[in-house]
């Protein structure tokens, strides 16, 4: 562990107040120690590495210049916030990162007063920071607010909505753009640093504001000429015209790893009022050669060897659902040239790397723009193409209006391949796909499926692709049951489940991933197990058949119980006037913290032992069970 190494400066810094007591000349050594500490810690716990390595100097500079936590510091996404966590009193607990009862992998208000806003999804920082800046203005508080946003997060419309609003307000807000796109790295150097200091300095700001007051008294053609001359002059040397047009005072780009230059620029900007924009350029994975060479591979890592960067891959006997989707996508694309693949910045995570290489002209990564991804798919579908949107469950929440209004309302044939359905584990509540069955099954025209094993996942993808309307296949993170996969592109009869095991008294209706645990529990109970497959349309015939022949129906899903698949069964029984005992098992009515997926399933009672225990408790007489229903009466 990192504690076995010597970190003479870092061990003196448990709070930003202690950081601000260091001499400026000591900060480079502190950055080196902080970077090494983070590499060695994450090598044990896993986590998000590349982004944080690129923000070490920025984090130190921000806490050195700003009076945090009185001054508010808002991080975007959270992947870049590990150095911030270490410097704000959590270094001694950093070895618990992303573990049960440990530190979250993202900023959380409950965890520290320095985490001013909880994050997990991208592009929220400017909106939240603007709200805080407006609150400070209303309270007449002597407080500054800083939003740190990565260049990838700037692809989301929400970021530009916030910029557009902020530039029109007199709020003390600094937006720091952490730009790690290597294409602009030649702009970093002595000239750019010099310009950054000049454009953030008092002399330039005073001259600029004074000239604006004078010129506004002149005829409008003179004012417009001066404004255009300034834009032209700045546009020749800095890419800041867009932000100036939005109402920000732009400074940069400057080298985000030159800590002295950043502190000078930040001190200048902190002294200014109104909306400010600082553009810094950093390198993802900075200071760790494997991450610098392949920052995408080291974006999110498992445990690894800090000396070589070699990751300790978990041994898997079966392919993951993500891999099943990736192979199906390539196979179906080879079979049907109308297939178009779309992802909102999750090519690797969604298993689309091979597809993007084999079919580059049919692959679209739209960036962190989930709303655009869905409506883009709708437009393609209008023209007779067959779009497949590969998206994480938790990210689909951000495009709910587009899903309803642009796809379902028009009954367009768009297939949603929804990865990370249910519990995801160490990423915690922000990334858990806990609600998709609930928010999808209420949408008219939607075909909604959840596979119980890998082969069924492939079959459902084919079923949804060939369906003449919107369809969704929702599958979990990780591997399946080890079921052999049929390479054929076969489909399933829509709205039909199947019996996987026949028993007595108790029937377990499994929706998706909990099928394996349900089968194990059923073996110990001699219970019937139905693999329901479809949430919409529900196999009502199978539900009524089981209600007529069993004393207790147990629905199992890795989705919120409220409004989920179990609720669909309850509604079906009520609609047919059937009275039978029902036990709905699923995710509880609370946000679940980070832990391994296995730990979370056990905590929620969705592993085999938990299902067995819940059924036995129900059968013990806690609640009376009426006789089996007669569907013919």
User: Cα(210)–Cα(561) distance, rounded to whole angstroms?
Assistant: 61
Tell me whether residue 395 is exposed, middle or buried, using C-beta atoms within 10 angstroms of its C-beta: 0 to 12, 13 to 18, 19 or more: buried
Give the DSSP letter of residue 87. I
- Count Cβ atoms below 10 Å from residue 214 Cβ, excluding itself: 10
User: Cα(398)–Cα(123) distance, rounded to whole angstroms?
Assistant: 11
User: Cα(53)–Cα(39) distance, rounded to whole angstroms?
Assistant: 8
User: What tokens appear for 271 in the block?
Assistant: 């002294």
CA distances from 111 to 16, 133, 567, 589 (A): 16, 22, 35, 21
- Count Cβ atoms below 10 Å from residue 47 Cβ, excluding itself: 23
Q: Which of 520, 505, 501, 572 is nearest to 541 (CA)?
A: 572
Reading phi first (left if > 0) and then psi (alpha if -120 to 50, else beta), residue 168 is in: alpha
User: Cα(374)–Cα(157) distance, rounded to whole angstroms?
Assistant: 14
Question: Residue 344 — φ and ψ, nearest 5°?
Answer: -90, 80
Cβ atoms of 499 and 581 within 8 Å: the answer is no
User: What tokens appear for 28 in the block?
Assistant: 């480079």
User: Cα(476)–Cα(325) distance, rounded to whole angstroms?
Assistant: 11
Task: Report the 3 state secondary structure along 500-524.
Answer: EECCCCEEEEEECCCHHHHHHHHHH
CA distances from 81 to 49, 148, 326 (A): 10, 10, 31
Please report the DSSP string for 583-618 in residue order: EEEEE-SS------HHHHHHHTT-SHHHHHHHHHHI
Residue 481: how many CA atoms within 13 Å on its side-chain side?
A: 19
User: Cα(449)–Cα(461) distance, rounded to whole angstroms?
Assistant: 9
3-class secondary-structure state, position 414: coil
User: Cα(398)–Cα(352) distance, rounded to whole angstroms?
Assistant: 21
3-state helix, strand, coil in the chain (%, to 5): 45, 15, 40
User: Cα(126)–Cα(119) distance, rounded to whole angstroms?
Assistant: 12
User: Cα(317)–Cα(158) distance, rounded to whole angstroms?
Assistant: 41
Q: How many helices (H) and strands (E) does the chain have?
A: 25, 19
User: Cα(486)–Cα(345) distance, rounded to whole angstroms?
Assistant: 30
3-class secondary-structure state, position 288: coil
- Active site members: 284, 370, 398
Residue 531 parent element (H or E): strand 528-531
User: Cα(386)–Cα(597) distance, rounded to whole angstroms?
Assistant: 33
């Amino acid at each position: 562990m990192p504690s076995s190494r010597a970190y003479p400066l870092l061990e003196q810094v448990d709070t930003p107040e202690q950081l601000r007591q260091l001499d400026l000349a000591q900060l480079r050594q502190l950055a080196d120690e902080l970077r090494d500490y983070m590499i060695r810690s994450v090598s044990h716990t896993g986590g998000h590495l590349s982004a944080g390595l690129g923000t070490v100097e920025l984090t130190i500079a921000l806490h050195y210049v700003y009076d945090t936590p009185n001054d508010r510091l808002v991080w975007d996404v959270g992947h870049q916030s590990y150095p911030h966590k270490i410097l704000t009193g959590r270094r001694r607990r950093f070895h618990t990162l992303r573990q049960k009862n440990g530190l979250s992998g993202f900023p959380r208000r409950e965890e520290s007063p320095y985490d001013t806003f909880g994050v997990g999804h991208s592009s929220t920082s400017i909106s939240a920071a603007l709200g805080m800046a407006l609150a400070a203005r209303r309270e007449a508080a002597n407080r500054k607010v800083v939003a740190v946003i990565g260049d990838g997060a700037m692809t989301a419309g929400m970021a530009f909505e916030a910029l557009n609003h902020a530039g029109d307000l007199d709020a003390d807000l600094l937006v720091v753009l952490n730009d790690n796109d290597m294409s602009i790295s030649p702009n970093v150097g002595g000239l750019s640093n010099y310009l950054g200091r000049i454009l953030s300095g008092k002399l330039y700001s005073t001259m600029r504001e004074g000239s604006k007051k004078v010129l506004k008294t002149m005829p409008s053609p003179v004012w417009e000429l001066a404004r255009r001359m300034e834009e032209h002059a700045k546009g020749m040397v800095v890419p800041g015209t867009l932000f100036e047009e939005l109402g920000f005072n732009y400074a940069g780009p400057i080298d985000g790893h030159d800590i002295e230059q950043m502190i000078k620029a930040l001190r200048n900007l902190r002294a200014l009022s109104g909306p400010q924009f600082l553009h810094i350029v950093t390198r993802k994975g900075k200071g760790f050669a494997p991450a610098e060479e392949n920052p995408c591979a080291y974006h999110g890592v498992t445990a690894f060897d800090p000396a070589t960067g070699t990751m300790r891959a978990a041994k898997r006997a079966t392919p993951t659902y993500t891999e099943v989707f990736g192979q199906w996508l390539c196979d179906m694309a080879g079979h049907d040239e109308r297939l178009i693949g779309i992802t909102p910045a999750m090519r690797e995570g969604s298993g689309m790397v091979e597809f993007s290489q084999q079919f580059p002209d049919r692959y679209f990564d739209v960036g962190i723009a989930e709303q655009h991804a869905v409506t883009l798919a709708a437009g393609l579908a209008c023209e007779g193409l067959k779009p497949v949107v590969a998206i994480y469950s938790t990210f689909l929440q951000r495009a709910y209006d587009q899903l309803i209004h642009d796809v379902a309302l028009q009954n367009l044939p768009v297939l949603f391949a929804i990865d990370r359905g249910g519990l995801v584990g160490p990423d915690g509540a922000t990334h858990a796909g806990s609600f998709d069955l609930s928010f999808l099954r209420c949408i008219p025209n939607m075909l909604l499926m959840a596979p119980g094993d890998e082969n069924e996942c492939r079959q459902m993808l084919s079923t949804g692709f060939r369906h003449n309307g919107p369809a969704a296949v929702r599958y979990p993170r990780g591997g399946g049951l080890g079921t052999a996969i049929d390479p054929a592109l076969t489909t399933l009869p829509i709205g039909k489940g199947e019996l996987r095991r026949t028993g007595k008294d108790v029937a377990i209706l499994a929706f998706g991933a909990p099928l394996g645990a349900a089968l194990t529990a059923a073996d110990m109970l001699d219970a019937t197990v139905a693999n329901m497959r479809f949430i919409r349309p529900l196999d009502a015939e199978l539900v009524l058949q089981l209600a007529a022949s069993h004393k207790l129906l147990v629905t199992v899903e890795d989705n919120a119980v409220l409004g989920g698949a179990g609720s669909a069964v309850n509604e079906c029984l009520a609609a047919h006037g059937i009275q039978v005992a029902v036990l709905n098992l699923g995710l509880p009515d609370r946000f679940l913290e980070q832990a391994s997926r296995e730990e979370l399933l056990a905590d929620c009672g969705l592993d085999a032992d938990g299902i067995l225990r819940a059924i036995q408790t129900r059968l013990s007489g806690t609640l009376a069970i009426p006789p089996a229903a007669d569907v013919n009466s």
